[in-house]
Amino acid sequence: MLPRWMFIYLSFASAVLTAAEDRYATVAIAPAKTSIYVGTVTLTMPTFERRGSRFESVYMAKVFPYFFYNERGALGIDFSAEQLSRLARGERVEFNGMARCETGETRRVEGHATPTDADTGKIKVRVFVSKTIELIFNTTYRFAPPPAKADGR
C-alpha cells in the first residue's frame, strides 16, 4: 500500500500536469495575408484544438481577385509535448503539418513559432501549393483558455 504522502504527491503532480496540458488545449491564430502576382491570399482559421500530439482546425483561403481559386479544408499541425515545453521556455520551435482542401488535394505545411511571452508569439507558415509555388504567411498566435464546460467546472 502506498504511503499517504505518496498518494498526495501523485495527485498533486497529476493535477499540475493536467493544468499544463489544458493551458495548451486551444490556440488562436490571427488571420494572415500574403501577396501573389497581381493579388492577395487571405488565410483564416478558427481556433485550433489539441488532439493527441496535433493541433487541428479548418481553414479558408480567399484569393483576390481570383475568387475561383478560393478554398476551404482541414489543417493539422504536428506539435509534440516536447515542442510545447520548448515553446514555454521561450525557444523558437519548428513544426510540420498537412492541409486537405474540400476537393481532396493535400498541401504540405511547415513553419516556426517564436514566443513573445508565455501565451503569445509570432508564427511563420509556409503552404506548399505545388512543387514550385509556396505561400508564406506571417501572423501571431495566442494560447486561449479552454472553453468553459456547461456545468460551470
Parent domain of 52:
24-144
For residue 153, is it within any domain? no
DSSP 8-state code for residue 67: G
Chain centre distance of CA 17: 20
86-119 confidence digits (pLDDT tens): 998 999 999 999 999 999 999 999 999 999 988 8
Write the CATH number for 66.
2.40.128
Question: What pTM, to 2 d.p., does this model score?
Answer: 0.77
For residue 53, is it within any domain? yes
Average pLDDT of the chain, as a whole number: 84
For residue 1, is it within any domain? no
61-92 confidence digits (pLDDT tens): 999 999 999 999 999 999 999 999 999 899 99
- Give the number of domains in the chain: 1
- By the 10 Å C-beta count (0-12 exposed, 13-18 middle, 19+ buried), 45 is classed as buried
**CA neighbours closer than 13 Å in the CB half-sphere of residue 45:** 28
Percent of the chain residues topping a pLDDT of 70: 81
